[in-house]
Amino acid sequence: MTYSAPSVTDTPPTSLHSFTEEELMLKDTVARFAREVVQPRVRAMDEAEVMDKEIINSMFENGLMGLETEADLGGAECSFTAAILAVEELAKIDPSISALCDIHNTLTNTVIRKWGNKELKEKYLTRLATDTVGSFCISEAGAGSDAFALQTRAEDKGDHYVLNGGKMWISNSGEADIFVVFANADPSKGYKGITAFIVEKEWGVEIAKKEKKLGIRSSSTCVLNFDDVKVPKENVLGEVGQGYKYAIDSLNEGRIGIAAQMIGAAQGAYEIALPYMFERKQFGKPIGSFQAMQHQFAQVACEIEAAKLMTYNAARLKEEGKPFVMEAAMAKFVAAKVAERATSYAVEWMGGNGFVRETGVEKFYRDAKIGSIYEGTNNMQLETIAKIISTKYK
């Protein structure tokens, strides 16, 4: 048997930090937007636990709310990796704003873009790209990690469905006017009765309670009630009974977005604390020159880089149409752990100045905790990873 050398015309492999010109331009634009528009208002939003409407409007104006949406529907038509880079850059300044952008793009927009018909895409993706916040509604009191145990019902009334039930822990719901709601249209079929609906707030979606949270405080998280909410049959997303598939697929992609949010939070805290360590002097020299401190920030730098590479790899695999579910779970699991460690160290490195609110580091510490919880807890990520690995040996 003979082996031929690869052709000299073959495209050589590139590093995981290789991005297209479009991706780099978006990354730089979002970084500048975050510094100039978001940063001055971060602390006030966190204290008030309210998202600044002017920032939301600016995100629409700058094309950040329709990142992957087609240009003819008002979107930026960017790559998935570009969207992930945008989420990361926003999180370096404020993980709350990053959460709004991420969930709106990687969940709400994605599920409509992938399974909506032409009419639904034209009607809703245009609004979602230009002026209307969207929300993805699946979690309930008894359906968290076990999402398919949801109890919200959709009753077929001929030309419309009537939704009854409630949702909990719903991100973006305080600002949203368009909701993708998962409800069971045929409980006799179990999870195979779960169906996705596009629901407008004015049809009767009730914001029952806004949660007061440890972190990402300006990102709204609410309890929603659906009491005899009428939804036209044309607002069924995809096929009846296929909602569980759409939810799984969207959340698998969304986990890469959460990983990006977490590496952004880790970098945000790190980039505040590190300069401080070389400005602050004790015993006649910068605290960053002590070996114990150097070992800590060197280790964190390694962990942040590892999490970034895992996240970028998962994003590229998704773009290439290759299996990425395990890699997405790995990226989210590792990035969440790294964010907790990096932000905790950043507080310690800055001592008292890290513990007070003025420097912003303690906010990153609070914000990082959510990464281990939403869009699949750490244990659920490990379950996914183990299940996929196990299939190779069965």
The residues carrying an active-site annotation are: 375
Cα–Cα distance, 134 to 172 (Å, whole number): 7
Positive/negative CA dihedral, 247, 198, 261, 86: positive
Choose among 166, 318, 175: nearest CA to 254: 318
Q: Are 90 and 264 in contact (CB under 8 A)?
A: yes
140: left (phi over 0), alpha (psi -120 to 50) or beta: beta
Encoded tokens for 55: 């920032």
Encoded tokens for 43: 């602390």
Please, which residues bridge with residue 136 across strands? Answer: 180
Cα–Cα distance, 363 to 46 (Å, whole number): 8
DSSP result, 152-168: -EEEE-SSEEEEEEEEE
Q: Are 332 and 255 in contact (CB under 8 A)?
A: yes
Q: Are 257 and 83 in contact (CB under 8 A)?
A: yes
Please, which residues bridge with residue 134 across strands? Answer: 178
Cα–Cα distance, 340 to 337 (Å, whole number): 5
Cα–Cα distance, 134 to 173 (Å, whole number): 8
Radius of gyration, alpha carbons of the chain: 22
Give residue for tokens 């599920």: 111
Cα–Cα distance, 254 to 331 (Å, whole number): 11
- CA distance between the termini of the chain: 33
Say which amino acid occupies 63: G
